Amino acid sequence: MNKFKVAICQMLVTDNKEENLSKAEEMIREAKREAAEVIILPEIFNCPYNNEYMVEMAEDYPGKTTDMLSSLARELQVYIIGGSIPEKAGDKVYNTSFTFNKNGELIGTHRKMHLFDIDIEGKITFKESDIVGYGEEVTVVETEYCKIGVAICYDMRFPELMRLLALKGAEVIVVPAAFNTTTGPAHWHETIKVRAVDNQVYFVAASPARNMASTYHAYGYSTIINPWGDVVASTKETEAIVYGEIDLDYVKKVRQELPLLKHRRTDLYTLEEL
Ligand SMILES: NC(=O)CC(=O)C(=O)O
């Protein structure tokens, strides 16, 4: 089982949770019909990426959204990396990604570790930490194919975390994300490519489609990059499913031919999880 097919559901997210859940289900079913085995949703897919909505629509785990993902994973016999949702835990809200295996069992929970607090003059101000709590754990999920590192959006801007995922054995890194129309054109493609090349992984970056009726204008352009830095598949800003094949022999080949991970001077510097 050295190859498997992934699908990114680049869905249009609205302020209607029922509509978002139906859209996610419809796209997951379509991806299964196209033989995808690992299906990925974008960051904050069940409500708008906006602090007020995230507080209002946050759900406990287990809850309506995660129950739906779990039962779809079981029924369709696929892995689902459920983008992220606002998760309510006690009096806190987290931006959390839940991953389910083919039996519908929860095999990974990633709470966004780096929160999107930015202020770009004349363009965009966002202060996620006003309402979202910080995740504390590095997340690598075990699948029947390989280990998959999971992080959320702004997390991917931190090369130390991405490297840690590779050092923990990830051959694929999946990042549900929602860059925007300021940061997307500036950094999206370059960041994805360099993280794939540095860590010699398949890098799967899943965005929502752009919704100009929303307060946050997601960039779109969900993309899969291989360990050599080539684009396996990509799309533009509108709703679409992006499919790509992950070839684990190719990961091994690139890592053998250009042994970056082996050539690290760990006698001179190290990276450790505290
Ligand atoms: N939405 C994010 O967390 C990050 C983002 O949009 C960016 O880094 O740009």
Kindly report the protein residue whose alpha carbon is nearest to atom 3 of ligand 1. 154
Kindly report the protein residue whose alpha carbon is nearest to atom 6 of ligand 1. 179
- Report the nearest atom of ligand 1 relative to the CA of 115: 3
In the block, which residue shows the tokens 């295996």? 101
**Contact between 75 and 25 (Cβ < 8 Å):** no
ipTM over 0.90: yes
Average pLDDT over residues 119-136: 98
Q: How far is the CA of 115 from the centre of ligand 1 (A)?
A: 9
Distances 104 to 49, 59, 264 between C-alpha atoms, Å: 26, 19, 38
Q: CA 19, 20, 21 angle in degrees (round to 5)?
A: 95
| Res. 86: pLDDT tops 90 | yes
Q: Of all residues in the chain, what percent carry a pLDDT higher than 70?
A: 100
Those residues with Cβ within 8 angstroms of residue 67's Cβ, 6 or more apart along the chain or in another chain = none
43 given a catalytic annotation: yes
Q: Please count the helices (runs of H) and the strands (runs of E) in the chain.
A: 7, 15
- Tokens at residue 231, please? 């684009």
Summarised one tens digit per residue, pLDDT across range 98-122 is 999 999 999 999 999 999 999 999 9
Report how far residue 28's alpha carbon sits from residue 7's, in angstroms, rounded to the nearest whole number.
Answer: 9
**Contact between 237 and 26 (Cβ < 8 Å):** no
Q: How far is the CA of 84 from the centre of ligand 1 (A)?
A: 13
In the block, which residue shows the tokens 């979202």? 132
Domain definitions of the chain by residue range: 3-257
**CATH superfamily name and code, 3-257:** Carbon-nitrogen hydrolase (3.60.110.10)
105 given a catalytic annotation: no
Kindly report the protein residue whose alpha carbon is nearest to atom 2 of ligand 1. 154
Report how far residue 163's alpha carbon sits from residue 184's, in angstroms, rounded to the nearest whole number.
Answer: 22
Q: How far is the CA of 106 from the centre of ligand 1 (A)?
A: 26
Q: Of all residues in the chain, what percent carry a pLDDT higher than 90?
A: 99
- Report the nearest atom of ligand 1 relative to the CA of 182: 9
Q: How far is the CA of 249 from the centre of ligand 1 (A)?
A: 32
| Res. 1: pLDDT tops 70 | no
Ligand 1 in reach of 157 Cβ (< 6 A): yes
Q: How far is the CA of 176 from the centre of ligand 1 (A)?
A: 11
Least confident of 93-97, 197-201, 203-207, 269-273: 269-273
Distances 181 to 56, 128, 258 between C-alpha atoms, Å: 25, 17, 35
Kindly report the protein residue whose alpha carbon is nearest to atom 4 of ligand 1. 154
Which listed residue (9, 112, 146, 237) is catalytic?
A: 112
Query: Model's pTM, two decimal places?
Result: 0.98
